[in-house]
Amino acid sequence: MRKVINVIEQIDSIAVKHPDWVAYDYLGTKNTYGELKAYSDSLASYILTQGLEEDAPIMVYGAQTFDMIATFLGVVKSGHAYVPIDRHSPAERLTMINEIANPGMCIAVEDLPVNLGDLPVLEGQELNDAFNANKNVTPNSFVTKDDNYYIIFTSGTTGKPKGVQISHNNLLSFVNWEIGNLGLPERPVTLSQPPYSFDLSVMDLYPTLVMGGTIKAVPKQVTDDFKKLFEILPTLGLNVWVSTPSFMDICLLQPTFDAEHLPALSRFLFCGEELTHATAQALKLRFPDAKIFNTYGPTEATVAVSAIEITDEVLKQYDRLPIGYLKEDTLGFILDDNGRMANAGAEGELVLSGPSVSKGYLNNPEKTDEAFFEYEGQRAYKTGDLVKIDDTGMLYYHGRTDFQIKLHGYRIELEEVNHYLNNDPLIQAGVAVPKYGKDQKVAQLVAYVVPEKNEFDSQIQLTVAIKDSLKDNMMEYAVPNRFVFVESLPQTANGKIDIKSVIAEVNA
């Protein structure tokens, strides 16, 4: 497929040529590209009559539905950026985002759980009327170039969320890389599982739409019900899978999740957290002919900036999987502990520079100045990720700079401990967290573990066996002091392991 020049115009061009192609399939309820264009054009026309300030973003509240996608497109066709907020978000978060983003209006696809004061809200029948007004707009009003396209709010260290501004050019750089380098089939049929407030969803939405494919929504009420999930997955005809590795771990618990029952599934794209060797190997056994891509990237650099195909050779060569090569338009370099550029092969904080790097955090100049700067005429971002780049340009992820702890004077990288936990034959899934003493120093390293089926008579015997096994691969000081055995690990709404809730429980 040729490079996309404008995301919105590309989707519209498909709607004009092939209005009957299915753009969105919500558990059998199908909506076409023609409907997508009609809804988004009419909504954009309505927004343009509201007299909003030119750069005011628009909050969009709802779940994984066609109306949400039509609203996103309607907002950007009116020249504004959208701020997606998932309906499962706490009400307090909605209020905080409203205060920080200072939006021009809110479009509520689902019922709002809070009163947003004087903010104009388009909802219910009025929203339906706006969708069905049969109005047209011209590309003159569309978001383009360095205009903000979407603003996704991520967690802030102080508890206040930060709004990452992603421009049309940022999105364009990512979309062209994904469709050009990850081997998507023509008119992909793509799983859409992450909430739209999580930027992993961008990996399934926009590459699929610009290629005239079909988005297959699997909403939260399905993913929360394993029986329903495994009944539905084989009926979707998916050929592209996008998810976090944690969601894949859940799917691999089902013996029929394999190529025999999902024969069309030919591409797996993972992002959002580390893909373990154990998960990749298990998936390769289930889908031996499929291509599996491990991708990496922070929200601040638009979803993903590097990728590697996980082949049998890669699995043989590496115990901890690399995160691949940077996309061609992106530069990466390493800073040492003193903030100076490190030599090739050194481990340190990864800095990314290029056209997919965000301009910064919305209405937050202080946090923007801490993390972003200009480098050789391009925007650059300090990721906070510990990475090594080898002589060939391959990136190796070694954890977070803020996930390092010191225990008894030793520096321990928690994600390295997690790597060994999750690759231990006695452990199905595990996470290590610090327990703090009264002086706020780390007193213990505690592992929460979902064990594999075993024949040990007691948890004490199992703990001893796991510790002995871990000592074969890691320094003794980094082996967790205490093990807590659980049936499952908590997950965030985005499908990642909820480390914060485990830390809170350990330190309660």
Question: In terms of domains, do 414 and 462 share one?
Answer: yes
Domain count of the chain? 3
- CA angle in degrees (0–180, nearest 5) for 393-359-363: 140
DSSP string, 40-56: HHHHHHHHHTS---TT-
What does the pLDDT look like over 242-260, one tens digit per residue? 999 889 999 999 999 999 9
For 256-299, the pLDDT digits (tens) are 999 999 999 999 999 988 898 999 999 999 999 999 999 999 99
Q: Which residues are annotated as a binding site for D-alanine?
A: 199, 303, 496
Bridge partners (DSSP) listed for residue 121: 106
Q: Quick check: is 302 in a domain? A: yes
Q: Domain residues for 498?
A: 408-506
Q: Do 368 and 311 share a domain, yes or no?
A: no
Whether residue 128 is found in the same domain as residue 268 = yes
Quick check: is 1 in a domain? Answer: no
Query: Residues forming the annotated binding site for ATP?
Result: 154-155, 294-299, 385, 397-400, 496
Answer yes or no: do 364 and 255 share one domain: no
Mean pLDDT of the chain: 94
Boundary residue ending a domain (370, 399, 428): 399
Kindly state whether residues 67 and 172 are assigned to the same domain: yes
Q: Which of 273, 291, 317 is the last residue before a domain boundary?
A: 317
The model's pTM is 0.86
- What CATH number has the domain bearing residue 416? 3.30.300.30
Q: Residues near 271 by Cβ (< 8 Å), separated by ≥ 6?
A: 200, 203, 242, 244, 295, 296, 297, 303, 304
Same domain, 106 and 217: yes
Q: Are residues 102 and 238 in the same domain?
A: yes
Judge if 210 and 268 occupy the same domain: yes
The burial class, CB within 10 Å (0-12 / 13-18 / 19+), for 395 is: buried
- Model confidence at 500, in pLDDT bands (50, 70, 90)? confident
pLDDT in tens, 94-115: 999 999 999 999 999 999 999 9
Q: What is the pLDDT of residues 121-175, one digit of tens each?
A: 999 999 999 999 999 999 999 999 999 999 999 876 555 889 999 999 999 999 9
Residues in the annotated binding site: 154-155, 199, 294-299, 303, 385, 397-400, 496
Assigned domain for 322 exists = no
- Domain edge (last residue) among 399, 421, 438: 399
* CATH code assigned at 33: 3.40.50.12780
Exposed, middle or buried, 503 (CB in 10 Å: 0-12/13-18/19+)? middle
Predicted pLDDT at 157: 52
